[in-house]
Structure 1
Amino acid sequence: MADALGLDARVRPVTVAGVDYLNIEGDDDLLTRVVSEASGAFALFGSADGLLRPTALERRRPYSDDLVTIQKYQGKTNEQFTHLLLNVTAALAKRPQALLDGSLHVLDPMCGRGTTLNTCLLRGIDVTGVDLDKKDFEAYQAFIATWLRSHRLKHEIDASQVRREGRTLGRALELETAPTKEDWKAGRTQQVTYLNVDTTRLERVMRRTSVDVVVADTPYGVQHGSHGDKLDRSPVQLLERALPSWHDTLRTGGTVGLAYNRHVVKPAELADVLDAHGFSVVHGHGAPAAGLDEGAFRHRVDASIDRDIVVARKG
């Protein structure tokens, strides 16, 4: 993210008293803010005369962390990885500063039970999620309503049917909340929308060029699946059908970030399908982002999942 924002930062691993750290050097005042938002940032220290001085993380976290940690269910995406995918995708968009100032609008077109929705809410970012699975929609609705009540947060939440031209396409959950009563009264609120509709037909329910980034944890061909569709283990068939709709929803200069399982789809396949639908890969197959190796985010989840990230830009 530092490179994307034009910051001159030098990063290297160091060991102090037997403990491994990342040493980050830079002159820009914005650097602390950027480092604080990193998915792996748990503590920050200044260094002087060989001593470490604790430094407060400068991050937007208007709500408590249990918003993303309390849910436990099979197949849940690790919330730290969700932060990472969001950071990388937004940093490679035309306007990466939006991630820091809270003006970003995120779309997760395969949001499941809402890890991305909760991650964005935690960071004070507006977000729209889409999923066709009714059980996932209902599980998220029950969780977020209970969480808001238990934390005594001012909010408005509304569930309704999505209808177009006399037909019911699905359901919608619309939420508006704020971290304090003062914020609520002043209109400093965040919006979360969950659309229980077909992700391949978003043009029927969402405005064109209405979101800044798209992030999605694609089906891994193991415990996940493309809800309601009889597809093979690879997500390529689903992406072929969904990308035109996602492209229309995304603003020019916006980015789409996809997590995928290399055991079921190859980087070249993803690059080809993204290119065919008007996107240019900026990190992934043959296109390492500035300051990163092409496989910088590749990691083994378990024996059946070798996870990696591809990011592509519109326009």
Structure 2
Amino acid sequence: MPQYAILVQPSANRVYSQHAARLTRNELLALDGLLLDGRLAAAGEPEERTMGGVPYLVLPTPALTADDLAVLANLSSLFALFELNDDGTLRPLELARLDRYDDDLLTILKYIGKTNEQLTRLLLNLTAAAALPVQDFLHSRVRVLDPVCGRGTTLNQALMYGWDAYGVDTDRRDVEAYTAFADRWLQDKRLKHRSRSTRVRVAGKNLGRRTTFELAPTKELYRAGDVQTLEITQGDTLDADRMYRAGSFDLVVADAPYGIQHGSVTGPRTPSRSPQALLTDAIPVWAGLLRRGGAMGLSWNTKVLPRADLLAMLTDAGLEPLDDAPLLDLAHRVDHAIERDLVVARKPG
């Protein structure tokens, strides 16, 4: 029986590297169940194995189909995929990733508190797999909202996949820094694009300032009108349902605040820096922006919000959390104050 070996990508984040093989294994099992009818694990689950002092995941699976290879190519921590021969030799396989742009879109912007790019891809992959059939995951134009987008790590990953990316954040400095980065990056790469900035006004009330980019990876696609949208709004995430129509998005993906950094309120609401208070108010707003069958994916700090409490918030908002085994083993330490976990919930179709 053929076997395949995944070389796990090294991470610049030493703490994340310690968990990368386990997280990739569970990501693979989740994507297999959600997108590939469980056929990758039909002959046995992936096994963590060290070969030549390097960690691999070994798949005792039948020959991979084109869809199998396409899904595996986008695993968050996959560095290379090999066919593992009986004599222990490895034959590299060609992979066609969804990536449309140079990877410096994800890596060039550095700042304190930036979410690890591999974690961002992991969360986006799992959320998309919960909402989309495999052909849409691989070939459709997906609309993604990050309602606490910060400096745009999730937006950049969505762009990389060829999807439309929308972000909302209350922090003016973060929004301005990300908007300046996006504008400079597009110019440096000489990518055809256009941009505009507007005020978002509803019923005479100013809800924030919005910058919209329309871009494409090639001049030919741009001229043909095959353009992606990148849109960033500086405003209160609790007003997101007034900024966008209900059911506007396929995915809502957010790295929730970990502690006291985030406060987002307007009007008569009482300001709160508590992640639990923010999510209690925000999740129903975000859920309303999902289309039927869409999915919400959140990463959060379990030290300030127990998993059971977050699941109850999602359920109360009319969503259905996915609690299959691979999705229950994604928690990992970030530092002494942060134990991060991930959850995905689907909106009934």
Fold conserved between structures, TM > 0.5:
yes
Q: Which amino acid aligns with 2:90?
A: L
Q: Which amino acid aligns with 1:299?
A: H
Tell me the secondary structure at the aligned position of residue 34 of structure 1: helix
Q: CA deviation at 1:227?
A: 4.1
Conserved 8 A contact 2:246-2:290: yes
Tell me the secondary structure at the aligned position of residue 252 of structure 2: strand
Conserved 8 A contact 1:236-1:273: no
Q: Which amino acid aligns with 1:23?
A: V
Alignment match, 1:16: 51
Conserved 8 A contact 1:90-1:96: no
**1:202–1:96 distance in 2 versus 1, CA, 3 Å:** farther
TM value normalised by structure 1? 0.92
**1:198–1:97 distance in 2 versus 1, CA, 3 Å:** farther
Task: From 203, 207, 216, give the equivalent of 2:245.
Answer: 207
Alignment match, 1:231: 272
Q: Which runs of 4+ in 1 moved over 4 A?
A: none
Identity of aligned residues (%): 44
Tell me the secondary structure at the aligned position of residue 4 of structure 1: helix
Q: CA deviation at 1:170?
A: 0.6
Alignment match, 2:324: 288
User: d(CA) in 2 for partners of 1:238 and 1:41?
Assistant: 34
User: d(CA) in 2 for partners of 1:288 and 1:7?
Assistant: 13
Q: Please, which runs of 5 or more residues in structure 2 have no aligned partner?
A: 1-30
Q: Please, which runs of 5 or more residues in structure 1 have no aligned partner?
A: none
Task: From 160, 170, 173, give the equivalent of 2:208.
Answer: 170
Q: CA deviation at 1:155?
A: 0.4
Tell me the secondary structure at the aligned position of residue 207 of structure 2: strand
Alignment match, 1:307: 340
Question: More helix per residue: 1 or 2?
Answer: 2
Q: CA deviation at 1:23?
A: 1.5
Of 171-180 and 1-10, more deviation after overlay is shown by: 1-10
Q: CA deviation at 1:246?
A: 1.1
User: d(CA) in 2 for partners of 1:90 and 1:240?
Assistant: 23
User: Any residues of structure 2 matched to 1:98-247 within 5 Å, and which?
Assistant: 98-221=136-259, 224-227=261-264, 230-233=271-274, 235-247=275-287
Check if 1:45 corresponds to 2:82.
yes
Cα distance per residue 1:117-148 (max 9 Å; x no partner): 11111111111111111111111111010001
User: Any residues of structure 2 matched to 1:80-99 within 5 Å, and which?
Assistant: 80-93=118-131, 95=133, 97-99=135-137
Tell me the secondary structure at the aligned position of residue 118 of structure 2: helix
Q: CA deviation at 1:204?
A: 1.3
User: d(CA) in 1 for partners of 2:187 and 2:110?
Assistant: 19
User: d(CA) in 2 for partners of 1:297 and 1:159?
Assistant: 39
Q: Which amino acid aligns with 2:165?
A: V
Alignment match, 1:35: 72
